[in-house]
Amino acid sequence: MKRIQIITLLTFGVLHLTPIIAQNALFKQANESYNKKDYGSAISSYHQLIDKGYKDAVLYYNLGNAYFKNEQLGNAVLWYERALRLSPDNKDIQYNLAFANQQTTDRIESIPPFFLKTWILSVQNLFSAKQWAVFSLFFCALLVISILLIVLISNYKARMTFFFLACAMFLFTILSIVFAGLQTNNANRTDEGIVIQNSASIKSMPDDAGTDLFTVHEGTKVKITDRVGEWLEVQFSNGSQGWVLSEGIEVI
């Protein structure tokens, strides 16, 4: 029972501490508006911070919560997704995004990804791009130290120990750099979007005269595969695809 109460307190509650904007008066004002259940004002204040150039997972998370409380599910999912890209290991963001996705109308079955891709993504998402970059510097420093010890120490067994340690640190350095790059690319990708309209018709071609294939609803995630004027070709997690007006989709 206590666990349920704790989760309830965490879910859709604002997070107050972030090193970038913790002392910003507008951020505090937005949180106060949220706590007073004035979600419209909170949304406006959070967006003002974003317009000023702030890019922060906590800010995006709070904005997602405000949208959810304001019954704007599509925008809530959108900002949770953006927050998760900046902080992929954040449990609060993961939980609230999963909870919001459960409230969406569409239930689209996903094609199971190749197990190796799933494993790589699970490791990649353990840390953010900045954290992986820090790890790469740490392992690189250990690599340099190991090489210096190999040169300076005359004992054969000790040199072999540091040789294998150097090999391991080289491997960890490369992997950290790769994962940092992958996380950076993921944070900046523009090929995914969220349906923010109540509903959007998926057409067979980029034209109003196209056949209506099916309808999707707010909060549904899509992959953007092509653009023609004001139309987007989108693909869904089950492999189906079609065209939709760009006004109904917001790029993550």
Q: Which residues pair with 216 in a beta bridge?
A: 200
Read off the CATH number of the domain in which 23 is found. 1.25.40.10
Give the residue from 188, 204, 230 where a domain finishes: 188
Q: Does residue 107 fall inside a structural domain? A: no
| Counted domains in the chain | 3
Residues 39 and 72 in one domain: yes
Dihedral, 28, 29, 31, 35 alpha carbons, nearest 10: 130
One domain, residues 92 and 31:
yes
Q: Is residue 91 part of a domain?
A: yes
109 falls within a domain = no
Query: Does 50 share its domain with 83?
Result: yes
Residues 7, 82, single domain; the answer is yes
User: Does 63 fall in a domain?
Assistant: yes
Query: Residues 172, 120: one domain?
Result: yes
Six-digit token pair at 39? 């979600």
Of 188, 208, 241, the residue at which a domain comes to its end is: 188
217/117 Cα distance (integer angstroms): 28
CB contact burial 57-90 (16+ within 10 A = b; e otherwise): bbbbbbbbbbbbebebbbbbbbbbbbbbbbbbeb
Residue 108 domain flag: no
Q: Can you give the pLDDT of all 252 residues of the chain as single tens digits?
A: 333 333 334 455 655 445 556 557 888 889 999 999 999 999 999 999 999 888 889 999 999 999 999 999 999 999 999 999 998 889 999 999 999 999 988 877 776 667 777 788 888 888 888 899 999 999 999 999 999 999 888 888 889 999 999 999 999 999 999 999 999 888 888 889 999 999 899 999 998 888 899 999 999 999 999 999 999 999 998 888 999 999 989 998
Report residue 232 CA to chain centroid gap.
Answer: 22
Inter-residue long-range contacts of 38-44, CB under 8 Å, 24+ positions, other chains counted = 39/66, 39/67, 39/69, 39/70, 40/70, 42/66, 43/67, 43/70
Q: Does one domain contain both 145 and 162?
A: yes
Look up the CATH number of the domain holding residue 237: 2.30.30.40
Among 160, 188, 216, which residue terminates a domain? 188
> What pLDDT does 10 receive?
45
Same domain, 201 and 172: no
Give the range of the structural domain holding residue 197, as residue numbers without chain letter. Answer: 192-251
Q: Give which of 211, 207, 206, 245 is closest to 222, Cα–Cα.
A: 245
**Given this model, what pLDDT does residue 2 score?**
35
Phi, psi of 149 (to 5 degrees): -70, -35
Same domain for 147 and 225?
A: no
